[in-house]
Structure formats: C-alpha cells, structure tokens
Amino acid sequence: MNDFMEELLKIQSEYFRRRQLLFILDIISFFSIFYATFEIFQIEYFLGLSSLLLFLPNFIIKITPPVLAFILAIIVAFLLHRKDHKINVNLLVENKYPELREKLRTAYDNRTETNVIVESLKSLVLSALTVVSASTLLATSVVVTKIIFVIIFISGAAIVSMNPDYRIPPETLTDTFTNISKTITGETPGTNESIEVVGRPENIDTKVGIKGGGDIFGKPKIASIEGKNIDLTLYSGMGTGFEVRDASQTQSKFIKSAAFPVDVLGSNVSDGGYGILMKKTEPEKELISKYAVERSKI
C-alpha cells in the first residue's frame, strides 16, 4: 500500500509543480504587460500630480507603477489558476492511460483496505504507474509556449521603458480625457476655444462658431441694453469709426448758404437798411462784404 501511494503522490507532486511554473510564468507575462502599459501612459507623471500622494517621497512615486503592475499581475494570474488545486490527477492519468481506467480510482478509494483482492489490485496499478510521467499529463509544449511569450513580453516592456518615443505625451492624454468627459456630460468638445479675427468682419467665414462658436452674423441682430433696443446690423462698406445713427443708406445733402443775405427774407435788417445796401455800387458791395467776413472772424 505504501509503495502505491508513494508513487501516486510523486506523480501528483510533479504535475502540480508544473502548474506552479505556469502560474509564475503568467505572473511575469502580466507584469510585463501592465508595466509597459503604465510606461506608455506615463502613470508616474499623473501620480506625481495627485494631491493624495504629495506627502510621499519621490522615490516612492517612482516605484509605485512597477509595484502596482506586480500586484495586478498576481491578481490576474491567481484568477486564472484559482481552480488548479481542484484538478483530479487520477482522472488525468486514466484519460492518458486507458489501461488504468477504473482501476486507479478503485485502488485509491480502497487504499486503507488490506485484503488479498485489494492488495493484488494495488500491485497491478503500481506496476502501471511506473511508466506514468507528469510531462504526459501537462505537455512540455505548453510550458515552452509560455516561456516564449514571457520572453516576448519582457523584451517589449524593456524597449518601452528605455525608449521615451513610445510614451504618449501627458498633454495628449489630458486633452483626450477632457474631450471624453465633455462627451459623457453632453458638452460639445472645442466650443470654448477662442477665435482670432483677422481682416474685415464681412470677410470672415460665416460657418465659424456654428452652435455657439462665435458666429457674429447670426441672430439676434437687435440687442436690448437697459430696456432700449439697439440695432447691431453691420452694413457693408462701413469702415472703422463709423457710427450708425440711421439704418437708411440715403444722406441729406448740405446746401452752403451765401456770405450775406441775398433776399429780403434772409436779411436780419428790419429798418430799411437793406434797400440802401442794394443801391451801393459793385466795388462798395464787395468792400462791405469783405468787411463783414473779417468781422466774423474776430
């Protein structure tokens, strides 16, 4: 009985050692993936900006990404291998070696029995177990494949960590997160950006600022300031300093008045002096006119 159990436990131990090796290889693979991801997205930079970590020394912040990657790798690997301890090695042996089917389980279930029939069965099973190898239960190709993936992931993580060109600038990540948050909240990204006005207003593309981006040519054209409506319409041809007083394009023509009254209606003389003035000779009228002009300048 002791020889039978020792051989069976030896096979089980070898098999679970191989499963443990796969567990370790998975930890290394996931650590490389998480660490490379943290390097690409520069998690260390954002951890340094966090108000929760301001009291920590700088070297703690530097080692936080690899430590976090290692913890996550252990968690993921543990989830993948959480049922390894429940694997029934006896069933695996029977599936790989049909001649042991039912016999191995019967001998294991009656391992504490000492009768002649059970002892004979155990001896038969023991002789068959001598050719059973753990490498047949867990193929070597599976282990080799895991090792190859580990080498690839470690190489990729090393290249990313030593080459800054593979890292995304923090500004790009910040802008991306901002746009995503605006999309989630329903705010249109980019509507608060300033617009530089170059040239005359009438030459600006009227498509600028659609849906709140600064379209000064759209409605409304009337602004209400302190209860008084003010026309904001811009008319073509108006230069700098033009003051809109009337929406009409027509302007009143200026008529220049004469230097002195030309008829009795325009005269301010009410005592008959206008008739005496009209009796003057042309040289006298011209002299009086010049005198009046010069007096107006004083």
What is the average pLDDT across 122-141? 88
- Looking at residue 266, what is its pLDDT? 47
Q: How many CB atoms lie within 10 A of CB 14?
A: 16
Q: Which residues pair with 224 in a beta bridge?
A: 229
The 10s digit of each residue's pLDDT in 11-40 is 999 999 999 999 999 999 999 999 999 998
With a cut of 60, say whether residue 174 has pLDDT above it.
yes
Residue where the block lists tokens 């930079």: 45
Rounded-to-integer distance, Cα 45 and Cα 171, Å = 11
Domain residue spans in the chain?
2-184, 201-231
With a cut of 80, say whether residue 240 has pLDDT above it.
no
pLDDT bracket for residue 264 (50, 70, 90): very low
Name the token pair of 156. Answer: 């990729």
Q: What percent of the chain has pLDDT over 90?
A: 26
Q: Supply the mean pLDDT for the chain.
A: 77
Amino acid at 267: S
Best-predicted range by mean pLDDT (42-46, 195-199, 251-255): 42-46
